Structure 1
Amino acid sequence: MDALFPAFLLLSFLILALGMGLWVFAGLLLVTVFGLGVIADFSPDRIGVIARSVLWKSATTWELAAIPLFIWMGEIIFRTDISERLFRGLAPLVEGIPGRLLHTNVMGCTLFAAMSGSTAATTATIGKITTTALAERKYYAPLAVGSLAGAGSLGLLIPPSIVMIIYGVLAEVSIARLFAAGVLPGLMLAALFSGYIMLQCVLHPQFAPKGVTSLTFAQLGRSFVDLLPIFALIVIVLGGIYSGLATPSEAAALGVGATILLTYMMRCLTLEVLVESLMSAVRTSCMVVAILMAAALLSSTMGYLHIPMNIANAIAEANFSPLALLLMLAAFYIVLGLFLDGISIVVMSLPITLPIVVQAGYDPLWFGVFLVLMVEMGMITPPVGFNLFVIQGLTGQPLGEVSWAAFPFFLVMCLAVAILAIEPRIALFLPSLMP
Structure 2
Amino acid sequence: MGLLELSALLFLLLVLFLAGGLWIGMSLAAAGFVAIVFVHPQPGTFLATSFWEATGSWTLAALPMFVWMGEILFRTKLSEELFNGLSPWVRRIPGRLLHVNILACGIFGAVSGSSAATCATVSKIALPELSRRGYDQDVAIGSLATSGTLGILIPPSIIMVVYAVSAEVSIIRIFLAGCVPGLVVMGLFSLYIIVWALLNPRKQPPPEPRMSLAEKLRSSTQLIPCALLILAVIGSMILGWATATEAAGFGVLGSLALAAATGCLSWTNFRDSLAGATRLSCMIMFILAGAAYLTKAMALTGIPTALAAGVASLGLGPFGLIAMLTVIYILLGTALDGVSMIVLTTSIVVPMVQQAGFDLVWFGIFIVLLVEIAQVTPPVGFNLFVMQAQTGREQTAVAWASLPFFMMLVVAVAVITIWPPIATWLPDVLLNR
- Which category describes the TM-score, using the shorter chain as reference length? over 0.9
Residue 285 (structure 1) aligns with: 281
Kindly indicate whether residue 165 of structure 2 is the aligned counterpart of residue 169 of structure 1: yes
Residue 137 (structure 1) aligns with: 133
Identity, in percent, stands at 44
SS in 1 for 2:29: helix
SS in 2 for 1:100: coil
8 A contact 1:146–1:402 mirrored in 2: yes
Residue 268 (structure 1) aligns with: 264
Question: Once the 2 structures are TM-superposed, how far is the Cα of residue 315 of structure 1 from its aligned partner?
Answer: 1.2
1:212 and 1:136 map into 2 onto residues whose CA distance is: 13
Residue 310 (structure 2) aligns with: 314
Question: Once the 2 structures are TM-superposed, how far is the Cα of residue 94 of structure 1 from its aligned partner?
Answer: 1.0
1:30-179 to 2 correspondences below 5 Å: 30-37=30-37, 40=38, 42-43=40-41, 46-179=42-175
8 A contact 2:81–2:223 mirrored in 1: yes
8 A contact 2:65–2:252 mirrored in 1: yes
* Aligned AA (1:64): L
Residue 190 (structure 2) aligns with: 194
1:21 and 1:196 map into 2 onto residues whose CA distance is: 40
2:215 and 2:21 map into 1 onto residues whose CA distance is: 52
- Partner of residue 337 from structure 2, selected from 329, 341, 345: 341
Question: Once the 2 structures are TM-superposed, how far is the Cα of residue 2 of structure 1 from its aligned partner?
Answer: 5.0
8 A contact 1:58–1:292 mirrored in 2: yes
Question: Once the 2 structures are TM-superposed, how far is the Cα of residue 206 of structure 1 from its aligned partner?
Answer: 2.7
Residue 404 (structure 1) aligns with: 400
Question: If the length of structure 2 is used for normalisation, what is the TM-score?
Answer: 0.97
8 A contact 1:72–1:256 mirrored in 2: yes
Kindly indicate whether residue 342 of structure 2 is the aligned counterpart of residue 353 of structure 1: no
Residue 215 (structure 2) aligns with: 219
1:228 and 1:208 map into 2 onto residues whose CA distance is: 30
2:222 and 2:174 map into 1 onto residues whose CA distance is: 30
Residue 14 (structure 1) aligns with: 14
* Aligned AA (2:407): L
Output one character per residue of 1:194-230: Cα deviation in whole Å (capped at 9) or x when no partner: 1101110111013331323743133222222211111
Output one character per residue of 1:316-362: Cα deviation in whole Å (capped at 9) or x when no partner: 22211111111100000000000000000000011001100110011
2:175 and 2:247 map into 1 onto residues whose CA distance is: 12
2:302 and 2:202 map into 1 onto residues whose CA distance is: 59
2:91 and 2:333 map into 1 onto residues whose CA distance is: 36
What's the C-alpha RMSD, in Å, of the aligned pairs?
1.3
1:3 and 1:293 map into 2 onto residues whose CA distance is: 24
Structure 2 residues without counterparts, runs of 5 or longer = none
2:209 and 2:357 map into 1 onto residues whose CA distance is: 50
Residue 375 (structure 1) aligns with: 371
Instruction: Please identify, of 217-226 and 15-24, the stretch whose mean Cα deviation from structure 2 is larger.
Output: 217-226
2:22 and 2:404 map into 1 onto residues whose CA distance is: 33
2:258 and 2:112 map into 1 onto residues whose CA distance is: 15
Question: Once the 2 structures are TM-superposed, how far is the Cα of residue 3 of structure 1 from its aligned partner?
Answer: 3.6
1:251 and 1:82 map into 2 onto residues whose CA distance is: 20
Question: If the length of structure 1 is used for normalisation, what is the TM-score?
Answer: 0.97
Change (3 A) 1:384 1:354: same
8 A contact 1:4–1:311 mirrored in 2: no
Kindly indicate whether residue 201 of structure 2 is the aligned counterpart of residue 205 of structure 1: yes
2:125 and 2:208 map into 1 onto residues whose CA distance is: 21
8 A contact 1:96–1:213 mirrored in 2: no
SS in 1 for 2:335: coil
Kindly indicate whether residue 386 of structure 2 is the aligned counterpart of residue 390 of structure 1: yes
